[in-house]
């Protein structure tokens, strides 16, 4: 095998130097750093024997032809943009490892019955324009043109930033691929959670990218003097919200693989000597199946209503976001399982609670994901860490998967 794990890590380091700030890593959509990182990746793709291009939204695409030129492809990739003050593996590792696997094919002069493409997506994190998955949505043909009107913190619209980058916002559709041309989309990504570490495993097979619901919740009670209103006569909105937060925890714990979080809470008027009359909090709920997620939402609505009734407060639940579950192809999961076995590693399946480009790519092709253990489950943070041993195993599994890939039925 010629897969070189140290080179993968070195290249992640090299990409991390293309950052908005010198003492950390931030690389957002349509920035000079994006162009520099893209150029670097393109060079590596070329060295691995691939034809390269930048597509209509700025994704970097490399293609390694199969036995017959113009064959449909197995597409591998991840994203090259980051959150603010990011780690250096979330996204980049999947792109760089895929290039390494293609370099391995080229070194063996091996042509497969299908083409292999590697794609480095732009704007998965969506930091600059609060967009997210723009690059993969463009490839899947589901990019929403209304996003072009979104503005960054400096008031620059996405469409103008695209023009400044030499891209034509009217031609984003050109990035879309035909389903017949993409046999599957497969991504290696750090886990961003602590499960593989707890299982003492370097990799895991992803079953599904969890769907989610987000709500704004507003609780209205009655404000009053903290000294004069007896406990029995209070309609304390914050105490009710606290009970709701505990109900979220209870419901999520009662259902397998469901997670629920109250991440933000505001109490009004917000004074030490006033009973809170109004409270707003957020609710983020995720599940690896849509039926399960629907059940969790229904249970929570019931709990919230009961709490509101018992405490004589009004409670309004406003949906602000919803995403369906993107299931990973069972056939691709089986092929990953075989490749993991062949490398002598125990197979573990797990859902992804975080979103990934695969959510968008699922509209185009069957998707598969392989998770890599990361230190402490930490991500979106400079402390993000992987080991060269784990990267070596993961890259060998990915290389084996590619060589043995059989297109799943749709
Ligand atoms: Zn990511």
pLDDT in tens, 102-120: 999 999 999 999 999 999 9
The pLDDT score that the predictor gives to residue 342 is 97
The mean per-residue pLDDT over the stretch 377-400 comes to 97
Distance (Å) from CA 355 to ligand 1 centroid: 8
Distance (Å) from CA 222 to ligand 1 centroid: 43
Q: Where do the H-state alpha helices sit in 112-177?
A: 134-140, 158-164
The pLDDT score that the predictor gives to residue 410 is 85
Predicted confidence (pLDDT) at residue 346 exceeds the cutoff of 80: yes
pLDDT-based confidence at residue 1 (cuts at 50, 70, 90)? low
pLDDT, tens digit, 9 for 90 and up, residues 143-194: 999 999 999 999 999 999 999 999 999 999 999 999 999 999 999 999 999 9
**What's the rounded Cα separation, in Å, for the pair 166 and 150?**
18
Predicted confidence (pLDDT) at residue 233 exceeds the cutoff of 60: yes
Predicted confidence (pLDDT) at residue 91 exceeds the cutoff of 70: yes
Reference 392, options 206, 202, 205; nearest CA is 202
Distance (Å) from CA 122 to ligand 1 centroid: 11
Distance (Å) from CA 243 to ligand 1 centroid: 33
Q: Could you give the count of Cα atoms lying within 13 Å of 395 in the half-sphere of its Cβ?
A: 29
Burial of 232 (0-12, 13-18, 19+ CB in 10 A): exposed
The mean per-residue pLDDT over the stretch 372-376 comes to 96
Nearest-5° Cα angle at 302, 297 to 307: 125
Q: What percent of the chain has pLDDT over 90?
A: 98
Predicted confidence (pLDDT) at residue 295 exceeds the cutoff of 80: yes
Buried b / exposed e across 366-405, counting CB within 10 Å, b at 16+? bbbbbbbbbbebbbbeeebbbeeebbbbbbbbbbbbbeeb
Distance (Å) from CA 215 to ligand 1 centroid: 23
The owner of tokens 């994190």 is 125
The pLDDT score that the predictor gives to residue 2 is 78
Distance (Å) from CA 54 to ligand 1 centroid: 20
pLDDT-based confidence at residue 38 (cuts at 50, 70, 90)? very high
Strands 259-261 and 278-287, by their bridges, are: antiparallel
pLDDT, tens digit, 9 for 90 and up, residues 249-292: 999 999 999 999 999 999 999 999 999 999 999 999 999 999 99
Distance (Å) from CA 189 to ligand 1 centroid: 7
pLDDT, tens digit, 9 for 90 and up, residues 199-222: 999 999 999 999 999 999 999 999
DSSP secondary structure code for residue 227 in this structure = T
Distance (Å) from CA 193 to ligand 1 centroid: 12
Distance (Å) from CA 333 to ligand 1 centroid: 20
End-to-end Cα, the chain, rounded Å:
32
The pLDDT score that the predictor gives to residue 288 is 94
Task: Name the pTM for this structure.
Answer: 0.91
**What's the rounded Cα separation, in Å, for the pair 99 and 76?**
9
pLDDT, tens digit, 9 for 90 and up, residues 313-338: 999 999 998 999 999 999 999 999 99
Distance (Å) from CA 141 to ligand 1 centroid: 20
Distance (Å) from CA 302 to ligand 1 centroid: 34
- Round the average pLDDT of the chain to a whole number and report it: 97
Q: How far is CA 248 from CA 260, 294, 356, in A?
A: 6, 14, 25
Distance (Å) from CA 77 to ligand 1 centroid: 11
Q: Could you give the count of Cα atoms lying within 13 Å of 215 in the half-sphere of its Cβ?
A: 22
The pLDDT score that the predictor gives to residue 247 is 98
The pLDDT score that the predictor gives to residue 371 is 98
Number of neighbouring beta carbons within 10 Å of residue 316: 13
Predicted confidence (pLDDT) at residue 17 exceeds the cutoff of 90: yes
Distance (Å) from CA 171 to ligand 1 centroid: 26
Q: Where do the H-state alpha helices sit in 86-233?
A: 92-107, 134-140, 158-164, 195-199
Distance (Å) from CA 39 to ligand 1 centroid: 20
């Amino acid at each position: 095998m010629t897969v070189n794990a140290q080179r993968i890590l070195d290249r992640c380091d090299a990409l991390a130097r293309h950052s908005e700030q010198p003492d950390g890593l931030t690389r957002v959509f349509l920035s000079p750093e994006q162009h520099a990182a893209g150029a670097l990746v393109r060079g590596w793709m070329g060295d691995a024997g691939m034809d390269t291009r930048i597509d209509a939204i700025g994704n970097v695409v490399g293609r390694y032809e199969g036995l017959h030129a113009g064959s449909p492809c197995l597409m591998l990739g991840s994203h090259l943009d980051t959150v603010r003050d990011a780690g250096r593996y979330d996204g980049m590792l999947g792109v760089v490892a895929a290039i390494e696997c293609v370099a391995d094919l080229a070194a063996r002069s091996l042509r497969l019955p299908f083409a292999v493409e590697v794609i480095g997506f732009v704007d998965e994190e969506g930091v600059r324009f609060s967009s997210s998955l723009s690059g993969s949505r463009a490839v899947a043909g589901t990019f929403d043109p209304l996003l072009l009107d979104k503005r960054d913190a400096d008031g620059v619209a996405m469409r103008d930033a695209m023009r400044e980058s030499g891209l034509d916002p009217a031609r984003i559709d050109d990035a879309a691929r035909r389903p017949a041309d993409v046999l599957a989309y497969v991504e290696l990504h750090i886990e961003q959670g602590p499960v593989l570490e707890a299982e003492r495993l370097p990799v895991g097979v992803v079953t599904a990218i969890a769907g989610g619901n987000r709500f704004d919740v507003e609780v209205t009670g009655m404000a009053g003097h903290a000294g004069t209103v007896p406990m029995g006569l209070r309609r304390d909105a914050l105490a009710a919200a606290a009970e709701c937060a505990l109900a979220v925890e209870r419901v999520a714990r009662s259902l397998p693989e469901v997670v629920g979080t109250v991440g933000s809470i505001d109490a009004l008027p917000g004074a030490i000597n006033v009973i809170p009359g109004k409270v707003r909090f957020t609710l983020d709920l995720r599940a690896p199946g849509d039926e399960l997620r629907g059940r969790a939402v229904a249970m929570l609505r019931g709990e919230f209503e009961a709490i509101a009734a018992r405490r004589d407060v009004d409670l309004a639940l406003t949906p602000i976001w919803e995403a369906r579950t993107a299931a990973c192809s069972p056939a691709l999961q089986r092929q990953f399982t075989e490749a993991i076995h062949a490398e002598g590693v125990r197979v573990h399946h797990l859902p992804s609670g975080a979103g990934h480009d695969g959510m968008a790519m699922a509209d185009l092709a069957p998707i598969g994901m392989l998770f890599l253990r990361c230190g402490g489950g930490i991500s979106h943070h400079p402390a993000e860490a992987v080991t060269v041993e784990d990267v070596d195993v993961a890259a060998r599994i990915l290389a084996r998967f590619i060589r043995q890939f059989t297109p799943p039925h749709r």
